[in-house]
Amino acid sequence: MKSWSHSQTRVMRICERRWFLSYGLGAKINSRDRFLREIAFLKKVKPSFMWRGDLVHGVIADVLQQARRGKTIPVDRASVLLEQRAKNQWLESMRRASSGDPRTSLQPEGPILMEHYYEALNNGLQLDEIISPARQQMMTLYKWIEHHGLLDEMRKTRDVWIEPSLFMPNSPGFSVNDVRFITKVDLALISSGFFRIYDWKTSLEPRGEFHLSHEHRQASYYALWPYFEMNFPVENIEIKVVYAGGDNPKAHEARLVHQDIEDLIADAELIIEATREFLDVDKGFILEDFDWATSGKACQWCPFQQICQRELI
């Protein structure tokens, strides 16, 4: 089944070429084709501000996984874990960036940082500039999770999804005709007849009222997974979006009502229809079939910029 996600929509809107390189070619690091190997390498390249979020999400996922097994990772231990992981991944990033080796034995492997790979983007970034805010954000989330009894819930509850894989059966998402619309959730569980979904954000909470924000709309899509795939009534689906970018955690709840569902599906259908031609990989598209980004700003943190730069020489 063909699949689509919000991040694909976002990338497609910013730059068609970036979408094609990211999703349209299925490039693998052990490909026979040199160009595909280069693309596969660049798919591992990521800016440090995104890596920071990954570190926080990764450690929180480990804390929850361990809690599920009845083991507690105390917050100070989680902090050490984050720091250690960051140091290892940082060093590996430098090695991989200079050697051009996409592989690593680290688990989780971490990205190759753009600041390490693209010299022009390296403004003397120091590891501590990543670790300090990441640690703060992780601790903020940890406290919120602990305070809301989620660690206990992990042990008690049978049905729990922690950063579920997108490629497993029953993975988060819903189907629009012949296309699987993937939704990425950080944590989901079934408790007391309620389906609860959690989304961790390392940013500041959005300004204004949450129900009028984009984040609310994005979170609303998560609810379509239990609604369509597990037949949960909308009244029994709760979505919490927790922001850890400030001094204190800020949690907001997104609640669906029936009339939203039709609207969300209509929107998803529109997105799918607009991009349908690209879902057809058999058409044998090539890079030249796709437009470049309109604005140069979109390219600043694009990992594929060396490919585009080469074409313009």
Partner 1 sequence: MTFTPLSKEKRIWATLFPMKADRDLEFKLRVLKVVERLPQDAKRAERLNQVAGELWRSVLKCPVKPFRVKETPCFLVPEEKAGLADGYSFIGPANREYHLKLTDETINVDLSESKLDHRDIVCDMLVRSFSDKFMRLQDKFWRWHWTLFYKNRSENSDNANRLVDAFRGIKFSVVWLDDLGLHLAADIRTKYMGRKSLREHLESGDTKFIKDHLKTEKKGKADPGSLFIRDNEIVKYSCLYAGQAGEPAEKATFIDTDGRTRTVYEYYLDRFKIRLPPNDLVVYVKSSEHGDPIPAPSSRLFPAFDTEQIKKMHESLRAPIPPSPQIPPQKRVEMITEFLHDVRKVRFGDAMLTLEPEPISERQQYFIPPDLLFGK
* Per CB under 8 A, 297 contacts partner 1: yes
Gyration radius of the chain's alpha carbons: 20
Q: For residue 60, give both structure tokens.
A: 């929180």
Residue closer to partner 1, measured from CB, 43 or 85: 43
> Which among 105-113, 136-144, 156-164, 305-313 is the span making contact with partner 1, rule CB under 8 A?
305-313
Helices and strands: H and E segment counts in the chain: 12, 10
Question: Is residue 309 part of the contact set for partner 1 (CB under 8 A)?
Answer: yes
Query: How would you label 200-230 residue by residue, b for 16+ Cβ within 10 Å and e otherwise?
Result: bbbeebbeeebeebebbbebbbbbbbbbbee
* DSSP state, residue 293: P
List alpha helices for the chain, DSSP H: 6-14, 16-19, 34-42, 48-68, 75-99, 114-117, 128-147, 150-156, 214-222, 224-229, 258-279, 305-311
Among 178, 235, 263, 273, binds partner 1 (CB under 8 A): 263
Among 37, 217, 255, 276, binds partner 1 (CB under 8 A): 217
Q: What is the largest CA-CA distance in the chain?
A: 62
Stretch that binds partner 1, among 24-32, 57-65, 169-177, 262-270 (CB under 8 A): 262-270
8 Å CB contact between 246 and 204: yes
Letters for 118-137 (x = contact with partner 1 by CB under 8 A, - = none) are --x-----------------
How big is the site for partner 1, counted in residues (CB under 8 A)?
A: 35
What's the closest the beta carbon of residue 171 comes to partner 1, in angstroms? 24
Q: Judged by CB, which is closer to partner 1: 133, or 206?
A: 206
Check residue 251 for interaction with partner 1 (CB under 8 A): no
Q: In this chain, which of 9, 72, 213, 275 binds partner 1, going by CB under 8 A?
A: 213
Cis before 108 (ω within 30): yes
Contact 162, 64 (CB under 8 A): yes
- The reply to whether 248 sits near partner 1 by the rule CB under 8 A is no
**Counting contacts by CB under 8 A, is residue 268 touching partner 1?**
no
> Which residue in 195, 210, 222, 225 binds partner 1 (CB under 8 A)?
210
Smallest distance, Å, CB 173 to partner 1? 19
Q: How far is CA 244 from CA 171, 201, 217, 221, in A?
A: 26, 6, 19, 21
- Report the interface residues with partner 1, using CB under 8 A: 120, 206-214, 217, 220, 257, 259-260, 263-264, 266-267, 291-297, 299-300, 302, 305, 308-309, 311-313
